[in-house]
Structure 1
Amino acid sequence: MLQHRLDGPEHGSPIILGPSLGTSARVWEPQLTALAHRFRVVRFDLPGHGGSPVQDVSSVDDLAGLVLELADALGLDAFHYAGISLGGAIGATLAARRPGRVLSLAMVCSSARFGRRTRSCVTLTALVAHGHLDELALHVRAALRNGLTPDEIGEVLLQSAIYCGVPAANAAFGVAQCVLSEVSGEPA
């Protein structure tokens, strides 16, 4: 089961809050006080994030299934849902799969489907966050093929420092610089 936290009145209307990739349930802390006055707040960590163990999931549909398992374990027949980025895509999937269970849906900086460029940005961030530098080189090349410019790749890596720290981002910049030099034919 997904690692989760419960806040707010035990009999409040339930709301499940989905985090973005590379973050944890803590991403919702600035909103927690306001939401916990009215709602029974359920915040969860994605697999491999925060306190949730790594699980074999390969799609947003799989993640939605894990959220439904959590809701079932907590006895939530119906709930409000809000999600950021990937968390929002999970919410859209929940609403499509089980519309009777999702009372309302808020998708923040999200989409039901992510295009190739966006998927490349998300993939690069996830690889940096989890320290998969060997795979990062492969995905920097893929990001270029998917239409990202070297400057955009640099911006993604710079933003990843916010989520996973400067040392991880610096290591990622080193990998990306080697790939970009190789592709352009210029020395690193």
Structure 2
Amino acid sequence: MTVLHHHAEGSSSAPPLLLGPSLGTSLALWDGVATELSSAHRVVRWDLPGHGGSGAELVRAGATVADLAGLVLALADAQGIARFGYAGVSLGGAVGLHLAVHHPDRVDRLAVLCSAARFGEPEPWRRRAALVREEGTGAVAESAPSRWFTPEFDGACVPRLVQDNRDADAAAYAACCDALAAFDLRERLAEIRVPTLVVAGREDPATPPERAREIADGVPRAELVELAGASHLAVAERPDAVTGLLRAHFGRVAGAGTAMRREVLGDAHVDRAQERQTPFTARFQDFISRYAWGEIWTDPTLTRRERSMVTLTALVAHGHLDELAMHVRAALRGGLTAGEIGAVLQQCAVYVGVPAANSAFAVARQVLESEGGS
């Protein structure tokens, strides 16, 4: 089966984050957000069938949100992604809700933006589907800005997104309307167990804030944020605000990394690092917490002692003596004895070089003496 058209950015080893669009838009909807998110995630944004670069043949009349969710899972499988974070707008948000209910083993965090557990009565969606099948997507593209944005918003993204709506395949667009007409997940929201963020545009006429509150009230421990000065496509109208919310929500997986960093290096060191953090260094510190401490040091394949030995060797090899002192202390905290640390440095003398080991012994001796070792 042909997969949905998509665009991936960010490190392939970073935590995966899938981004879903709203009806009538393409993956360009996420232009103001995706690049920033890709600094810490493997971001994969996708097009609905018949939208952007996705083939219209991927969906048929009478489609359901379950059908669209199946296409997203096929995309994830094709990308080698077993479990992922997911954020979606409107219809894309409905796909996320469906995945969290019906495929809880695939979704680890969820963000639902300007969406609903039920998009009103089915009949208006059926009428829109009939209109588009008869007259094409131009019949709804002209009125899109009034549904999508606040009246005063005139951002550069508006013409592009309206053109995406106009260019969408009529039959595929109508099939997506069929999916919205049939969608109703209100009675199953309590089954969602993943951490969930719900975002509403306070001036959204398509999915008003009360629809977001219904999701937040139904999903256990969900968080709700209402954005002032935002309509249905808040992700395009308020990209900085949405970026901040998504980074905070999906970035909480870094909490395990921070905990491990404190456990290995000690609270005092981590506190000093956080106190010295500036806006310039914040993303780097976030990277360290996520990748080095949240991914590598928490991997159970090697024991803490073994990781300390490997780390000491690597630091000696590259002459990072300041870091070496810190990790000698960490090795002691992790259970290595002074004798074992000395044996590691002795090994370095053979495979790294005597001068490097000599400098490393001097650093380690100072640390051991300060820590009361021998």
| Equivalent in the alignment of 2:102 | 97
| Equivalent in the alignment of 2:6 | 4
In 1, Cα distance between equivalents of 2:13 and 2:65: 29
| Equivalent in the alignment of 1:149 | none
| Equivalent in the alignment of 1:16 | 18
Which of the pair has the greater relative contact order for Cα pairs under 8 Å at 6+ separation? Answer: 1
Identity fraction in percent: 45
Instruction: Map 1:39-188 to 2 at 5 A.
Output: 39-54=41-56, 55-57=58-60, 58-116=63-121, 120=124, 124=128, 132-133=134-135, 158-159=146-147, 163-165=161-163
In 2, Cα distance between equivalents of 1:20 and 1:96: 20
| Equivalent in the alignment of 1:182 | none
What secondary structure sits across from 2:18 in the alignment? strand
What secondary structure sits across from 2:71 in the alignment? helix
Structure 1: which 5+ runs fail to align? 141-153, 169-188
In 1, Cα distance between equivalents of 2:39 and 2:127: 36
- Report deviation, 1:113: 1.9
What secondary structure sits across from 2:86 in the alignment? strand
Change (3 A) 1:53 1:100: same
In 1, Cα distance between equivalents of 2:115 and 2:102: 18
In 2, Cα distance between equivalents of 1:136 and 1:91: 28
Change (3 A) 1:136 1:33: closer
Question: Quick check: which one's strand share is greater?
Answer: 1
Change (3 A) 1:42 1:123: farther
Match for residue 30 of structure 2 among 28, 31, 40: 28
Name the count of aligned residue pairs: 148
CA contact (8 A) 1:121 1:156 kept: no
In 2, Cα distance between equivalents of 1:31 and 1:122: 32
In 1, Cα distance between equivalents of 2:127 and 2:20: 18
- CA shift digits 1:97-136 (9 cap, x unpaired): 111110100000001221127x736964x778x6842799
- CA shift digits 1:111-163 (9 cap, x unpaired): 1221127x736964x778x68427999xx9xxxxxxxxxxxxx9668547864
Read off the aligned partner of 1:56 and give its amino acid letter.
Answer: V
In 2, Cα distance between equivalents of 1:159 and 1:131: 20
Between Structure 1 and Structure 2, whose CA radius of gyration is higher? 2
| Equivalent in the alignment of 2:196 | none
- CA shift digits 1:153-186 (9 cap, x unpaired): x966854786435xx6xxxxxxxxxxxxxxxxxx
RMSD of aligned alpha carbons: 3.2
Q: Greater shift after overlay, 33-42 or 51-60? A: 51-60
